[in-house]
Amino acid sequence: MTALRSTRTTRRLAGAAAVALAALALTACQNGTGLKDGGAATASDSATAPPSPTGATSPAPGTPAPGSTKTGTGTGKGTGPGTGTGSGEAKGGSSDPAAAAGNRVLCNGSNTEVTVQPVARPLNHMLISVKNTGSKSCDLTYYPVLRFDEMQWAPAPRQETHPQAVVSLAPGQSGHAAAMLAAADGSGEGGTTGQKLTIAFQGRTPNSSGGASATPSLPAKGIYYDSSLTVTYWQQNIEDALGS
């Protein structure tokens, strides 16, 4: 009987030891040496999580995707050289002086009143005056192109009279030019008397058309001229036109 009890006691101790060993083994697994139960994902778990079906996560609204450049679609227009304009179109300054002014046109026979008048001094000179009768400012460009009757040549301009700026006339203002009709020393050739004078206006480029011509009235006896006929550039005042 005593031997039997001793055997049972030994078995119980062995079983207790086995239970203790199993508990230690479970503790060791929970310390990272074996499998562990599932729990809430940590930050490190998220970093190693598998990618989404598209291979990338969707960026937050308004945030550019990694490796991309955010582009705008605004319509604002830059004002400096090389300024971006978004989806709008940059507008530079126009090279046309009239367009830059916004309310200027060319002076010509349709918006001016043109008169001519021989003067005593300088000798053999004629004053040409143009008055702006329109409602907008107009520009007198370069010099008047004169043609007496059926004349087949154009009088040359006197380059020393070239103004520093285009002559611009506000409504009601006048501009002037002068023509030297004949050489004072009689050196001119082919002298004749003109009965009709046509004055053509130039455009924004030399020798281009500036619009309607003018045919101002001449004295009843006409205007005498010869091969030395020349004209000045348009001037802002009479003194500059006549060189006095």
What does the pLDDT look like over 88-120, one tens digit per residue? 333 333 344 444 456 789 999 999 999 999 999
Strand partners, 127: 117, 178
Say if residue 177's pLDDT is above 90.
yes
Q: Does the predicted model carry a pTM greater than 0.75?
A: no
